[in-house]
């Protein structure tokens, strides 16, 4: 699919001043400006995020109520249940709180719903489990913001609830003891973009402060716990694809340093299995190696595996669980590929598919655990909002993913009568729907996209940071750009464009499946290697071109002790 290249206008004089003030390359300053950072103080905070900049947890609405109720439960030895979501965000947040509650000698247990049989959040099966186990206080993690009926059900049974969540909060809120969610309209917490695990961390921090009244800092024991728990916060924050700015940037930057030295047996075991002896962990390692495996058990109907891994006290036991999780992940990949191929065949059979602005696909009697991933792959392939529904036993369970410019949660809210339940945020959501309403969903979402998205906004866009001469791509620049890490949502890797470069030699098709291209480009006597992943189909076009315009991510490659600058190609235009 042809992509739009979006090159913004940047005030070069402001960029030069910022570069002088910081003693950095003007190109690096331009990248900072593209991220809304236009002064030296803000830039220093961005480049060197500090734990000291984290906000007081008691700034969050209802935090004082949550702490008071939990302290009472701990003192009275009430049965506390941490009720988490089955994804990585919920699992890491639940594990963090479980370890904290054990440290303060609370009577605590955990419950993670089965993704396939229970469903999301405070569902009927989970509610019955809480009653059967005579739980006194439920603390949700990464769910519960819209669980009005469920919280009322628990309250009628004499069970109180504290909700910690980061999803959108409806007008009618659950009647909980406390609702910790920085997205509440009447919450004055300064940073509303925390992941669920970030809210859980804030609760643990607030509880630690309550045990150290009148002190400027919490005790050394609590400090050590909170510092090491940043490994959980880092993993969950990256996995949930929240913007890596503000407090999230602090969490991830600090967590990436802590993870290689973490005392947690589960994280250590998983690292030893998938990335042994790694001196440094990057966001891509979390996103592509750790998070999918922690998630795999839940997707395959074994939601307890991730929790068991992260709450294990034994490295030997944790390593065995990690191996089990790795097997489940391989099964998940195979299943995902099978379902994605099946969905593509269904879409090809739709005569109006190309002209439609949204994708709504129902599959029958298939595995529901991977439909969210398949929806994401559909968005990547076609750049349209995608709604995947698995129909089984007369019920439809859906997962949807969006594109920039289309608020998918808003679209669901506008048509709440279609769904038995739904929840999520602007870019991703889940829902339950009666199969008879799926055709209506398809028509209605088509209209919703037409209302929200104008012109060619559904055309995939590459946001460029700057146009540069090839000679500007130097190792010192690449090392300097690495100071802007961690990259991810809200802080994408820089993308530059070079224009009018010539091919140096013939391109080469490479890779195990022969889908990638490797070639050299030259301009003004400067030559660099370029790798174009998944672009083998462009071989002839590139080989016969007179000149190339290339959008790319600058990368620093190290091979046998030798460093070189390379182009990680995002898109190519040929003359």
Per residue in 161-190, pLDDT (tens digit) is 999 999 989 889 999 999 999 999 899 999
In this prediction, residue 425 carries a pLDDT of: 83
In this prediction, residue 148 carries a pLDDT of: 95
CA dihedral 329, 334, 336, 338 (to 10 degrees): -170
Distance CA 489, CA 248 (A): 10
Where do runs of H (alpha helix) occur along 35-87? 40-47, 63-75
In this prediction, residue 170 carries a pLDDT of: 87
Distance CA 12, CA 33 (A): 10
| Average pLDDT along the chain | 93
Q: Residues with Cβ < 8 Å from 451, sequence gap 6 or more?
A: none
Domains contained in the chain, CATH given: 53-323 (3.90.1640.30), 350-452 (3.10.310.30), 464-574 (2.40.50.460)
pLDDT confidence of 109, banded at 50, 70, 90? very high
Q: Which residue has the tokens 């506390």?
A: 80
In this prediction, residue 458 carries a pLDDT of: 78
Indicate if the pLDDT at residue 301 is higher than 90: no
Nearest to 280 by CA among 253, 311, 306, 310: 253
* φ, ψ for residue 207, nearest 5 deg: -65, -40
Indicate if the pLDDT at residue 278 is higher than 80: no
pLDDT confidence of 8, banded at 50, 70, 90? confident
pLDDT confidence of 65, banded at 50, 70, 90? very high
Distance CA 87, CA 235 (A): 11
Q: Residues with Cβ < 8 Å from 5, sequence gap 6 or more?
A: 461, 462, 464, 497, 551, 571
Indicate if the pLDDT at residue 436 is higher than 80: yes
Per residue in 545-557, pLDDT (tens digit) is 889 999 999 999 8
pLDDT confidence of 243, banded at 50, 70, 90? very high
Distance CA 95, CA 310 (A): 6
Ranking 13-17, 238-242, 276-280 by mean pLDDT, the lowest is 276-280
Name the strand (E) or helix (H) holding 12. Answer: helix 12-22
Indicate if the pLDDT at residue 48 is higher than 90: yes
Q: Residues with Cβ < 8 Å from 145, sequence gap 6 or more?
A: 163, 165, 166, 167, 168, 169, 170, 173, 174, 179, 181, 183, 423
In this prediction, residue 140 carries a pLDDT of: 98
In this prediction, residue 137 carries a pLDDT of: 98
Orientation of helix 265-274 relative to helix 315-348, angle to 10°: 60
Distance CA 81, CA 189 (A): 26
Q: How buried is residue 561: exposed, middle or buried, by Cβ count under 10 Å (0-12/13-18/19+)?
A: exposed
In this prediction, residue 282 carries a pLDDT of: 92
Report the share of the chain in percent with pLDDT over 90.
Answer: 81
Indicate if the pLDDT at residue 279 is higher than 90: no
DSSP state of 491: B
Name the strand (E) or helix (H) holding 91. Answer: helix 88-103
The CA distances from residue 83 to 113, 142, 350, 556, in Å, are 8, 9, 41, 43
Q: Residues with Cβ < 8 Å from 34, sequence gap 6 or more?
A: 8, 10, 463, 465
In this prediction, residue 369 carries a pLDDT of: 85
Q: Which residue has the tokens 């369970």?
A: 397
Residue 2: strand, helix, or coil: coil
Distance CA 521, CA 503 (A): 5
In this prediction, residue 119 carries a pLDDT of: 78
In this prediction, residue 354 carries a pLDDT of: 86
Residues in the chain: 575
DSSP state of 351: T
In this prediction, residue 16 carries a pLDDT of: 95
Nearest to 481 by CA among 17, 13, 34: 34
Distance CA 171, CA 173 (A): 6
Residue 285: strand, helix, or coil: helix
Residue 572: strand, helix, or coil: strand
Bridge-partner residues for 569, per DSSP?
Answer: 552
Where do runs of H (alpha helix) occur along 312-454? 315-348, 371-382, 408-414, 438-452
Where do runs of H (alpha helix) occur along 407-561? 408-414, 438-452, 475-481, 539-543
Per residue in 454-502, pLDDT (tens digit) is 767 778 889 999 999 999 999 999 999 999 999 998 899 999 999 999 9
In this prediction, residue 67 carries a pLDDT of: 98
Distance CA 471, CA 446 (A): 47
């Amino acid at each position: 699919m042809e992509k739009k290249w979006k090159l913004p206008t940047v005030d070069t004089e402001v960029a030069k001043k910022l570069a002088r003030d910081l003693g950095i390359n003007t190109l690096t300053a331009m990248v900072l400006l593209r991220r809304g950072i236009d002064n030296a103080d803000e830039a220093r905070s961005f480049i060197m995020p500090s734990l000291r900049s984290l906000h007081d947890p008691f700034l969050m609405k209802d935090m004082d109520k949550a702490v008071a109720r939990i302290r009472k439960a701990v003192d009275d030895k009430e049965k506390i249940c941490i009720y988490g979501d089955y994804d990585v965000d919920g699992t890491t947040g639940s594990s963090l709180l479980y370890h904290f509650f054990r440290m303060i000698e609370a009577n605590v247990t955990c419950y993670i719903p089965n993704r396939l049989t229970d469903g999301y959040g405070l569902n009927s099966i989970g509610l019955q489990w809480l009653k059967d186990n005579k739980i006194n206080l439920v603390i949700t993690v990464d769910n519960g913001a819209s669980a009005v009926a469920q919280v009322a059900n628990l309250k009628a049974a004499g069970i109180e609830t504290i909700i910690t969540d980061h999803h959108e909060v409806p007008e009618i809120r659950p009647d909980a003891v406390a609702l910790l969610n920085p997205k509440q309209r009447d919450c004055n917490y300064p940073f509303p973009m925390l992941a669920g695990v970030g809210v859980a961390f804030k609760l643990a921090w607030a509880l630690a402060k309550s045990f150290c009244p009148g002190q400027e800092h919490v005790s050394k024991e609590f400090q050590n716990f909170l510092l090491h728990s940043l490994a959980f916060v880092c993993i969950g924050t990256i996995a949930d694809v929240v913007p890596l700015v503000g407090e999230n940037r602090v969490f991830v930057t600090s967590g990436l340093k802590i993870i290689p030295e973490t005392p947690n047996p589960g994280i250590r075991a998983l690292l030893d299995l998938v990335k042994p002896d790694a001196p440094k962990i990057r966001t891509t390692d979390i996103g592509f190696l750790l998070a999918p495996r922690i998630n795999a058990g839940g997707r395959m109907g074994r939601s307890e595996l991730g929790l068991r891994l992260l709450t294990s006290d034994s490295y030997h036991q944790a390593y065995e669980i990690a191996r089990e999780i790795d097997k489940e992940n391989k099964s998940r990949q195979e299943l995902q590929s099978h379902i994605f191929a099946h969905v593509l065949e269904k879409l090809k059979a739709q005569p109006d598919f190309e002209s439609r602005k949204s994708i709504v696909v129902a599959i029958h009697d298939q595995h529901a655990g991977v439909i969210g991933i398949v929806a994401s792959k559909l968005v990547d392939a076609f750049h349209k909002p995608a709604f995947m529904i698995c129909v089984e036993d007369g019920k439809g369970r859906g997962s949807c993913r969006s594109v920039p410019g289309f608020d998918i949660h808003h679209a669901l809210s506008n048509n709440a009568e279609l769904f038995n339940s739904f929840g999520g945020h602007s870019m991703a959501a889940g829902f339950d729907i009666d199969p008879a309403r799926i055709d209506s969903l398809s028509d209605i979402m088509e209209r919703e996209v037409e209302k929200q998205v104008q012109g060619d906004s559904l055309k995939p866009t590459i946001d460029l940071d700057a146009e540069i001469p090839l000679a500007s791509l130097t190792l010192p620049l690449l090392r300097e750009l690495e100071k802007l890490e961690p990259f991810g949502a809200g802080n994408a890797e820089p993308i530059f464009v070079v224009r009018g470069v010539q091919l140096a030699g013939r391109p080469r098709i490479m890779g195990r499946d022969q889908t990638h291209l490797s070639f050299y480009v030259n301009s003004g006597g400067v030559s660099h290697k370029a790798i174009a992943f998944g672009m083998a189909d462009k071989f002839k076009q590139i080989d016969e071109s007179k000149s190339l315009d290339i959008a790319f991510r600058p990368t620093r490659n190290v091979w046998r002790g030798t460093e070189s600058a390379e182009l990680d190609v995002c898109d190519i235009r040929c003359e």
